[in-house]
Structure 1
Amino acid sequence: MKYITLTNKHREIHLQISYNIILTFLLSVLTSTTFAQTGIIKGTIHTQNNRPAKNVVVKLNGSKEKEVDSLGRYEFHNLEAKSYEVTVKHISFASQVSTIHLKAGETRILDFILEDDKKTIQEVLVSAKKPIVEHQLSNSLRVQVPLLELSQNVQTINSEVIAKQQAFNLSDGVFRNISGVSRQTHWNDMYVNIHMRGSQIQAFRNGMNIVSSFWSPLSEDMATVERIEFVKGPAGFMMSSGDPAGIYNVVTKKPTGIQHAEVTMSLGSFENYRSTLDLDGKLSKDGKLLYRLNIAGSSKASFRPNEDNKRLVIAPVLSYKLNNKTIATFEYTYQKAKMTDVGSGYVMSPNGFKSLPRETTFIQKGTQPFNVDEHSTFLTIEHQLSSSWKFTAQGSYFNYNQTGASSWPKDIFPDGKVIRKSDIWDAKSTMVLAQAFLNGDFETGSVRHSVLAGIDLGSKDYIADWNQSIVLDSLNGGEFDPKNPVYGFDFGPQSFDRSLSLEERAARGGGSMNTKYSSVYVQDQLGFFDNKLRLTLAARYTSMAVGTWGGTPIKNDKITPRVGVSYSIDKNTSVYGLLDQTFLPQQGILFDGSKVKPITGNNYELGLKRDWFGGKWNSTLSFYQITKNHEITSYGPDPKMSVEVGQKKIKGIEFDLRGEITKGLNLIANYAYTDGKVSKVNEGVDQFFVGQILDGADKHIANLWMDYEISQGNAKGLAFQLGGYSNIDRATEYYSQEFKERNIEDYFRFDAGMGYRRDKFSINLNVQNLFDKYLIDGGSFYTDYFNTAVYSWQAGAPRNYRLSFSYKF
């Protein structure tokens, strides 16, 4: 088409015109299609808490049968005009039968709401194992189509995997169950900073973007988490203002309506102690008012001296069913963290990576502890307008308060000795978020439409004081020697000046960030040939104003189109292609004084998805290329000063395989090849070079997890676990043209464990870093910060164990 050869200035206009022409043409053709004279019976089956039912068998006249899809939908085609008996069966619910008379060419909708079967033994339900394969997105990801039909790569980690691997916090590495995902370790387990496809990805919770600054949010406790969804590449149906690498969405636990209680006690290396309580059930006899309560408390030290970390989380959830069509859910989560002065994980030396023992720390015991209080609330209302249309509205409020300090050297000398300091870091964040969206299904002739339309609103404010420092060591003999550490204060007790309010201190030091945005989104997935071929056409308009370092907010707006195609080769196999765009307004002070532009990004992707053996395990293979323009980054010792690099390109291959391979044997395996480089450097930028590997773009990431549970005989319930994790040809941050080699060694970690599960009781032991290797979790090279150039790295923990006991009642 001619418009492809036009200049960049006109491409967006012509892309939008082409999109409108295609949509108009398709609708004009489709609406002219006439209905066949055979009839259709279809509907949706929900549980009492208004969730799509799973594993339900629908029978027609006692013979012809179908199982509902992942959204609880069923459909019978090509039916003659006569009476039909529709029977719905599920092992855990009472069977239901309905008779319907179908006329010639008629489409009848017949929905069901399943009710508890009083004869069902509840203990069997409670102790049943949950499969590790998910076939549908959570409601919070809005797109109500099965994963197999979605023209995008989305991978999920559910609570069953989290429990088996004994991940207590999101920073514990549970994200390694997804191809190409890694963590650039920073500030211990306070924040996660997950990287994927060569960039740090956006953090979502229950479908809302909860990033209020570069460092947030506080890492989630896994006691509250039902699943974690990784959406790879831009996700126009969720956002257009973000990094094109993708997002991760933490879905918290909600009431199920099934009476359940579980208590878990855990202990482990480095004085690691933890207790959790999970309560789930009904508060009213009629089942309209449901509740869920999760409480977790933990305390741990570290393999490094002088560290301490305590956490508390309380998360009550109430769900009320107003009627058969409307349900409201209120959720409150309180997280409390008290830990050592953050930054204790960083080790720095001019003599190369691993030139100091892995137990080395610059942290001085006796400095002010770091305290965080985070309150968050969600109110969600779901209303089923009809069997085909559903409206969802959600509002959220976050309040985050922090007092404490971060440790960072004041200077490092050629002999490796250090002048240590502690920098104040008091901060406060508030976020008010709202969204509303409409899902619907309808047909025009023989074409099925799955429609999504919605609006997103948000206001985020972050203020911080990081403008005071306390120096711990003196010159001329008082320097800290990491090879012969002697801890103490050279200047006696010191404290930060907090006589002014945080607002005043933040204003004085330029420590404020704020974001306001509004966005409207429309998408139609058109299904052709009995929904075997699916075409997605969508567009999002976003207006966003971003301010950082106390500067005046810069406003940008943009329309980002989305085009996707998915084709089902058979009922278990599909191929897809995707073109999606994103943009991200950014704020900073450029060295040359020019205006900061928003990041723009494109993602082109092809993929193959397949379910195996009735959906017991599945696989996804994807190929992608992402282009990012205008991204700015800090330049030199002043983090407030930035430079626009030019252009970055990331291309790669990702493969995920997971499921129950044979009875009792579960496997999670993934591999990612990532080629992320600087493809263009603007004139006058000497810190970067064409071909430079991007931070967070390790070339090869491969992970494997296997667990086998004996299902019969005297050893029934005995389980064995094995995991291997690797990062090869790794990437690091570059602050010098001289440091072009990636000399962080490859990462290989092996874990193993065993467990036993019988009836209501289970015990699980995991040993991490089984071969006790000195591992580097992440590293950088600095030239401008200190008296001499230094290597910086964070060591992984030595061999350690976790032992958990659980009881369900």
Structure 2
Amino acid sequence: MRRLQRVLAGCRYFSLQLWAIALVLPMMQPAWGNELQSIKQTQRGFSTSAVDLLAQQQGNVAVTEVTGVKVNSTSTGIEVILQTSKAEALQVLNKSDANSFIAEIPNAQLRLPLGDSFQQEKPFAGIAELIVTNQDANSIRITVKGEGSIPKVELFNSDEGLIFGLTPTTTTSQQPQRQPETPTNETQPQTPTPQADQPIELVVTGDQDGYRVPDASTATRTDTPLRDIPASIQVVPRQVLQDQKAVRLQDALQNVSGVTQAGNYGGTGAARYIIRGFSQDGNFRNGFRDADFFTLSEIANLERVEVLKGPASVLFGEAEPGGIINLVTKQPLSEPYYAADFTAGSYGFYRPTFDISGPLNADKTLLYRLNVAYQNSGSFRDFVDTERIFIAPSLTWKIGTNTTLNLDFEYLNNNTQFDRGIVAIGNRPAPIPISRFLGVPGENDSKTTAYRAGYRLEHQFSKNWQLRNALSITINKVNDFRAEQGDLIDDRFLDRNFTNGKFETDNYSLQTEVIGKFATGSIIHQPLLGIELNRSEGPLIFSRGILSPIDIFSSVNNSVIPTNPLTTFVNRQIRTDRLGIYLQDQITLLDNLKLLVGGRFDFTEQKNDNLLASTSTSQSDQAFSPRVGLVYQPIPAISLYASYSSSFVPNIGTSVNGSTFDPAQGTQYEVGVKADLSNRLSATLAAYQITKTNVLTTDPNNPDFSILTGEQRSRGVELDIAGEILTGWKIIASYAYTDAQITKDNQYAVGNLLDSVAKNTVSLWTTYEIQRGSLQGLGFGLGLYYVGDRQGDLDNSFVLPSYFRTDAALYYKRNNWKFALNIKNLFDEKYYETSQGRDIIYPGAPLTVLGTISWEF
């Protein structure tokens, strides 16, 4: 507790410093008021019938809140999207005035985080100005001024919201042409031409149903369109997880190029993930370091999963150079929302969940959300079952018009049988049934309890300057009993010991950031200044006893645990303190030329107390991590980018003379192209080279010590596509070629491939839903996943063979109900997901069927 008090005291000191900086900066910088606001909304809306609209016209009126205005570039102009948290039937009254297009929307009000109006000058050549503002207390006015004549306007009813498609015209004689709105049924009339002074009936919805996410915060810590970021960022939204019926984090990550699994801690679901060839030790949650490899994540309250490819130390501190995984959780909604589902399937699996949200008071300044999940299942693995309980409440308090406080909490309890999988014989996994359990039946118990809590305070000083202060706490407790698998005797009998592992990781992080906008002449800057404090500490205790060998080819497992007390061989208390100071600037040089520069100073200190030997060691490191990238957009739909970035990870250990080592360094060069293939479909193609230096290798003269001579390199090409090809036809697909190998080493042969990295991986998930007619709401899904051969260890002594897996789905939606059938591994392919060496290989599940009934309102 005293340690925590010291950490929080230091955090308060740095927070006060940045509060002072935030108060001074706006006074020092010129104001810039014509910025593009991109406000992300992922809330759910629902259709409203013509009867509701008629009631509205007769006076039964409710004012619709427009919570976001988004401007996207298209190949011919721009599209302006009005976003709401809940759909209402809207009337759009259009008229013209000189060279301006004007739309008035009654019974609606802007409720934007940065004010009640939106303005942008020259959003596109031929368009002089865009203004969205509250005309009075009950209506919104949209004004688009053309430079020479009235812009051509198209109106669309989309999953993203109410869309105004705007194309500049060159002469006043040109008349705007209207493409009909996509009908929701066969009898719906087409929308009239916008120039007519008459109402247009449209429905505003959210974009939760989409596979394409146009912007994300992980790469820059700001809501920036992905097309403006010189890096590869892939997002798996909630809708993909629902359609695939994902219950593990690895199910979500199979949709992202260049990401594979590296181990699975005893089948518990805690795992490392390999990105571009390099294994990560733990993920991030809402931008915070979320403990380590042993920390389990639940997906029930995830809004999306964001993967930033390449070194990320510039904003996140120490991390392997392949990239990071950031889990973004659901937030409270301003309108009532209720959802529940129940899934049951193969191997005694059943999982109910529910998600409820809404306001707690009449003025909607206090919002809540609650996600709950329970899971109970057996497994295709003998003697293995799992029970899980998950509860995640969150609260948003709008303290004032410029200040918001978010609070969140998670509780996770997971009980399962610890399962190390099977072993290798020769250069392949042993030819035994993938169901065979090599532990001690009924005694390989693993219990994980995780608590997460935090807050996020945001204050808007002005239109251009904002301060964020946030705290994250993760406490992860693990207690397991397991049979540790060793060497094979005569390629038949497995040497084992029985181990008890007890460890706890208490992880505290505090961040304070100032974000601003200002202009120097025609150049626009969006700076980010931040400071982060982190402490991670906890005990690590292992005890073991001798366990009799087991015949891996026998179907009889009569193993018993040792009767003698287990002997403790590891008892350590480990503490790591981190301090990071970072600065970033997103610079708009021209409308189609954007520069990103940044750097971070990190200071780390680790203390390791060996309680068995009564010794203590400590190590301090510091590093600077720069990043620079450039984006050029020859046409609005295409972004060409190039970037350089770096990373660091402390090397823990000592040389023969007792000195510590410099951190391992990662550097990446990347080029790529991002394309908006349509308003709903985008693609990213990237090529990169990553070099990791200062890799610890064995000292050839003193094998008990290490030296810094190792080097590893990864080169590759990646393609990711996500979005909607046609109305109702969605897709998320990827391809990755990864050549990751050892280039310098004293222990492993130069040229050996890095373990668990396939040279070629392909994924495809696509769904189609019938849009009209008697079968409206019927949908189909197909998933294809190919993973090439992977080396099982750095010695390259055995191979996990390639596999091609097929998934399928069938669902039917009616009103607020959905019935779904998901089939995973349709053709019962035998495959292996990952390994942690010759003695730990995890098979993949055979044919699995899941049925789900969902209700949402």
> Deviations for 1:103-162, whole angstroms, at most 9, x for unmatched residues?
xxxxxxxxxxxxx99xxxxxx888985211111114895133211101111110010001
Structure 2: how far apart are the matches of 1:149 and 1:84?
22
Structure 1: how far apart are the matches of 2:218 and 2:734?
26
Classify the secondary structure of the residue corresponding to 1:509. strand
Decide which of 705, 713, 718 is 2:773's aligned counterpart: 713
Going from structure 1 to structure 2, the CA distance change for 1:549 and 1:267 (only over 3 Å counts) comes to farther
Matched residue, 1:540: 600
Structure 2: how far apart are the matches of 1:536 and 1:799?
47
Q: Cα offset for 1:746?
A: 1.0
Does the alignment pair 1:268 with 2:268? no
Matched residue, 1:485: 555
Structure 1: how far apart are the matches of 2:67 and 2:454?
18
Decide which of 718, 732, 754 is 1:654's aligned counterpart: 718
- Whether the 8 Å CA contact 1:553–1:587 is kept in 2: the answer is no
Matched residue, 2:848: 800
Does the alignment pair 1:211 with 2:291? yes
Q: Cα offset for 1:804?
A: 1.1
Classify the secondary structure of the residue corresponding to 2:550. coil
Q: Cα offset for 1:536?
A: 1.8
Does the alignment pair 1:679 with 2:743? yes
- Whether the 8 Å CA contact 1:60–1:87 is kept in 2: the answer is no
Does the alignment pair 1:137 with 2:216? yes
- Whether the 8 Å CA contact 1:546–1:585 is kept in 2: the answer is no
- Whether the 8 Å CA contact 2:337–2:356 is kept in 1: the answer is yes
Structure 1: how far apart are the matches of 2:695 and 2:208?
46
Going from structure 1 to structure 2, the CA distance change for 1:205 and 1:398 (only over 3 Å counts) comes to same
> Deviations for 1:173-217, whole angstroms, at most 9, x for unmatched residues?
2101111111123221331211111111351001001234xx232
Amino acid at match of 1:522: L
Amino acid at match of 1:769: N
Q: TM-score, normalised by structure 1?
A: 0.81
Q: Number of aligned pairs?
A: 709
Residue range with higher mean Cα deviation, 445-454 or 583-592 = 583-592
Amino acid at match of 2:570: G
Structure 1: how far apart are the matches of 2:506 and 2:709?
31
Structure 2: how far apart are the matches of 1:459 and 1:770?
45
Structure 1: how far apart are the matches of 2:376 and 2:261?
23
Classify the secondary structure of the residue corresponding to 2:224. coil
Q: Cα offset for 1:679?
A: 1.1
Q: Cα offset for 1:296?
A: 0.2
Going from structure 1 to structure 2, the CA distance change for 1:392 and 1:78 (only over 3 Å counts) comes to closer
Structure 2: how far apart are the matches of 1:564 and 1:526?
10
Does the alignment pair 1:611 with 2:676? yes
Q: Cα offset for 1:275?
A: 0.6
Decide which of 343, 349, 353 is 2:429's aligned counterpart: 353
- The correspondence of residues 67-146 of structure 1 with structure 2, limited to 5 A, is 74-77=119-122, 86-88=131-133, 95-97=139-141, 130-138=209-217, 142-146=221-225
Going from structure 1 to structure 2, the CA distance change for 1:282 and 1:53 (only over 3 Å counts) comes to farther
Matched residue, 2:815: 759
Classify the secondary structure of the residue corresponding to 2:800. coil
- Whether the 8 Å CA contact 1:311–1:337 is kept in 2: the answer is yes
Matched residue, 1:327: 404
Matched residue, 1:190: 269
Structure 1: how far apart are the matches of 2:113 and 2:400?
20
Instruction: Give the unaligned 5+ runs of structure 2.
Output: 1-28, 42-63, 71-79, 84-93, 104-109, 146-160, 163-202, 611-615
- The correspondence of residues 392-791 of structure 1 with structure 2, limited to 5 A, is 392-466=468-542, 468-473=543-548, 479-490=549-560, 496=566, 509-529=570-590, 531-547=591-607, 550=610, 552-589=617-654, 595-614=660-679, 616-632=680-696, 644=708, 646-681=710-745, 685=746, 687-735=747-795, 739=797, 743-779=799-835, 782=838
Structure with more of its chain in strand, by fraction: 2
Classify the secondary structure of the residue corresponding to 1:576. strand
Going from structure 1 to structure 2, the CA distance change for 1:141 and 1:761 (only over 3 Å counts) comes to farther
Q: TM-score, normalised by structure 2?
A: 0.76
- Whether the 8 Å CA contact 1:40–1:78 is kept in 2: the answer is no
Does the alignment pair 1:289 with 2:369? no
Classify the secondary structure of the residue corresponding to 1:470. strand
Residue range with higher mean Cα deviation, 138-147 or 301-310 = 138-147
Amino acid at match of 1:448: I
Structure 2: how far apart are the matches of 1:713 and 1:492?
67
Structure 2: how far apart are the matches of 1:128 and 1:566?
27
Structure 1: how far apart are the matches of 2:132 and 2:206?
28
Structure 1: how far apart are the matches of 2:490 and 2:709?
31
Matched residue, 2:106: none
Going from structure 1 to structure 2, the CA distance change for 1:305 and 1:752 (only over 3 Å counts) comes to same
Q: Cα offset for 1:745?
A: 1.6
Amino acid at match of 1:179: S
Q: Cα offset for 1:557?
A: 1.1
Matched residue, 1:222: 299
Instruction: Give the unaligned 5+ runs of structure 1.
Output: 1-30, 102-115, 118-123, 474-478, 498-504, 783-790
Identity of aligned residues (%): 27
Matched residue, 1:501: none
Does the alignment pair 1:178 with 2:256? yes
Structure 2: how far apart are the matches of 1:548 and 1:604?
36
Matched residue, 1:56: 81
Residue range with higher mean Cα deviation, 600-609 or 488-497 = 488-497
Structure 1: how far apart are the matches of 2:401 and 2:290?
32
Does the alignment pair 1:373 with 2:449? yes
- Whether the 8 Å CA contact 1:306–1:363 is kept in 2: the answer is no
Structure 2: how far apart are the matches of 1:659 and 1:71?
27
Residue range with higher mean Cα deviation, 132-141 or 649-658 = 132-141
Structure 1: how far apart are the matches of 2:451 and 2:342?
25
Structure 2: how far apart are the matches of 1:459 and 1:488?
44
Amino acid at match of 1:359: S
Amino acid at match of 1:174: A
Residue range with higher mean Cα deviation, 315-324 or 557-566 = 557-566
